[in-house]
Structure formats: structure tokens, C-alpha cells
Structure 1
């Protein structure tokens, strides 16, 4: 069996940051190239965008997605590893179909992050049904219990800049 690529979906969530770290480890361990992917769509949806297309708006949204990918790599790894053939890719489309299409070569491994609790998200559901090869699901690290409780009771004033 030929070794394929390690394709990882990166959204900036805690689960995707953990998935990015795991994907780097998988790529290192198998001598595989790494492809970090962020998928994006116009916030109003493709149907509404098609009614009133604006290329400047689309470029702006793509730039935001690219910046989010850069931020996620910075948060998860500091920088892309130099000991792995790594590439970052920003693709327009729904995340599930984009990731399944990119991880469609023989031997490819698709790595995605997950919130605690399984296959609830739309990307994970799509990947579960349509992934052509192996999928590694990496759980997000759990939040400390007190932090979650404090955030539930937080008010807007708690986040205001002071001083």
C-alpha cells in the first residue's frame, strides 16, 4: 500500500487545533506530506451570493479564511513544521465535501477534530458517510468545569476593557 497524504481540516476550534497537532504527528510518523485545509463559504450562503455576486466580497471572505488558518497554525504549532512536507490550503466550499474530496487518493488519511460527545457536527456527519478512506477523529481537550460554569454566567460587561 502506498502512503498517501495526511489531510487535516482546520477551522480554529479547539478540536481542529488538536487535530492539526495529531496530523503533524501522523505525517512525521509515516513520512507523509501534510495538507492543512480551511474551507469557507460566503456567510450569506452560496445561493444568495449567486443572486448578487461580488468578487471583492468573495476575496475578502477568502482572506478572512486564510487569516484564520494562519492563526490556527500559530496557536496549535507556532509555525508549520520544517521536518514535514506541509502545505496550507484555503478552499471555497462546504467543509465536509471539500475534505472528503481532498482526502480521496489511495492511502490518504483524513484528520478532523471533534467536540466531546461524538458525531454531532455537520462536518463529522458528512465525513462519516462519505469519506473514501481512513479517518482519524481527534477530540477537543476538555474545558475545566469551573471555566464552563463561569462562562455561562458571564455578562458583556465582564469582557469590557478596563484601564
Structure 2
């Protein structure tokens, strides 16, 4: 029969929309966008939370037993539930939803889950300060370089910049200027 693509309203049919979550505001923004894309395309929404054992793979080889790994996985499942509850509350996203916790790095887990060319991979971007880029590589860049399907990169919510500024102001104990409240 071959690998035929059916067209729906001028778009190639998407089998599934895959999105990664961590529970951060940026990942929740990406989750909402992925749910909207899945609704428009009539696709299944797969929500992935990647996790690693403390110390990464090296840490799991140096004495973490099956009990500790089971606890790490259980914590990842709970974080996924919390992220879905935060994003959708008691409501439903209006699409078929499947949640997955995957042991591994976020980029590799997402690329592996969205391995079909008909899939759509949705990733969020967080704040990318120089220190953060040095310590933690970009999941979005990894996905763009390695995915076999289209990748939609969702910028952070405009409110995120204001939230980051408030955190910096609180951290450095800078008083709030009342004129800022009048905006």
C-alpha cells in the first residue's frame, strides 16, 4: 500500500504531536500550543517528561539499586501529573492525550518519541543566559538538529520576562518603584 499522506484542509496528516514538559512556565506554554496543534490536526497529543537518575547514567552504574530507580521514576510520574494538572486543571485539552515518562536526556527522549516524519514535535525555549547555555545544552537545538519530523519551537510567554525580572528584583532586594505599578 505504501506510505501515503492524506491531506486535510491543505495540510499533511499528522499522526501525533509530541511535546516535552518539565513543569516550568515555558514548558506549559509549549504544552498549550501542542494541544492546540493536536486539535487542529486531529492528532494524538503525547506529553513526555524525561528523567535521569541522580548523577545521570554514571550515577546509576555506581550503586543505585532498583528501589532507588523506581523512586526516581515515581517522582517523574508525579511531576508529569502535576504539570498536566497545572496546564489543564479539571478540564480536558479536547484531544486524545497520552503521558510518558522516559528515562534519558530530554532531547533524545523527544526525538525518539517523535520519530515518524508525519509527527510534529513541539518544544519550548527557556531563558538562555550564558551560564545556563554553558551548564545545560539547549533541548530545542538538539531537537532541531536530530528530529526526523517538523519541529515547532515555542517562545516563552511574554509574562515570563516580567516574572524573571521580579525574581531578580527580589533576589537582589531592589525595592519596587510604584511608577511600575501604574503601567
Give the shorter-chain TM-score range: 0.7 to 0.9
More divergent stretch after superposition (76-85 vs 20-29): 76-85
8 Å Cα contact 1:80-1:86 kept in structure 2? no
1:139 aligns with: 155
Q: Report the Cα distance in structure 1 between the residues aligned to 2:67 and 2:53, rounded to whole angstroms.
A: 12
1:29 aligns with: 40
Q: Report the Cα distance in structure 2 between the residues aligned to 1:94 and 1:116, rounded to whole angstroms.
A: 19
Aligned with 2:81 (options 61, 70, 75): 70
Aligned with 1:152 (options 157, 171, 182): 171
- Higher Cα radius of gyration: 2
8 Å Cα contact 2:117-2:150 kept in structure 1? no
Q: Report the Cα distance in structure 2 between the residues aligned to 1:71 and 1:53, rounded to whole angstroms.
A: 26
2:62 aligns with: 51
Within-5 A mapping of 1:99-138: 99-116=110-127, 120=133, 121-138=137-154
Query: 1:59-111 CA distances to partner (integer Å, 9 max, x unpaired)?
Result: 11111111111111111111472631110111111111110011011310001
Q: Which has the higher contact order (CA 8 A, sep 6+)?
A: 1
* TM-score normalised by structure 1 residue count: 0.85
Q: Per the alignment, in what secondary structure is the counterpart of residue 143 of structure 1?
A: helix
Runs (4+) off by over 3 Å: none
- Give me the CA root mean square deviation: 2.0
CA-CA distance at 1:125 after TM superposition? 2.3
Structure 2 CA distance for partners of 1:31 and 1:20, relative to 1, 3 Å: same
Residue ranges of structure 1 left out of the alignment (5+ in a row): 155-163
Q: Report the Cα distance in structure 2 between the residues aligned to 1:39 and 1:60, rounded to whole angstroms.
A: 15
Residue ranges of structure 2 left out of the alignment (5+ in a row): 6-12, 174-183
What is the number of residues matched between the two proteins?
Answer: 153
Q: Per the alignment, in what secondary structure is the counterpart of residue 161 of structure 2?
A: coil
2:176 aligns with: none
8 Å Cα contact 1:38-1:95 kept in structure 2? yes
